[in-house]
């Protein structure tokens, strides 16, 4: 367990998290966390991150390599509009 000291920061009180803990959580300055009280304890939890388009494309490429084929539905991609969708 790590012990830290609460400090005044403007009109608030802040806690400084050690670099090792931040690294374990994959967090850095500017990260967004939720703050909750559970059973008399303050609980900080990383806010779920939205993946970037680049991350999604990398995951898609890795999936296609793993299964050995493309995952697109060519017939659907090449079909004509059927409703009010805009292309």
pTM: 0.50
Residue 38 has pLDDT above 90, yes or no: yes
User: Binning pLDDT at 50, 70 and 90, where does residue 14 land?
Assistant: very high
Residue 35 has pLDDT above 90, yes or no: yes
Mean pLDDT value across residues 27-32: 90
Q: Which domains does the chain have, with CATH numbers?
A: 6-46 (2.10.260.10)
84: helix, coil or strand?
Answer: coil
DSSP string, 26-60: T--TT--EEEEEETTEEEEEEPPPPPPHHHHHHHH
**Mean confidence (pLDDT) of the chain:** 89
């Amino acid at each position: 367990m790590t012990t830290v000291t609460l400090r005044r920061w403007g009109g608030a009180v802040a806690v400084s998290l050690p670099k090792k803990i931040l690294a374990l959580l994959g967090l850095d300055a500017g990260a967004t966390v939720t703050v909750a009280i559970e059973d008399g304890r303050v609980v900080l939890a990383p806010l779920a991150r939205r993946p970037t388009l680049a991350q999604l494309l990398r995951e898609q490429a890795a999936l296609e390599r793993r299964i050995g084929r493309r995952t697109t539905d060519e017939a659907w991609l090449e079909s004509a509009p059927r409703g009010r969708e805009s292309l």
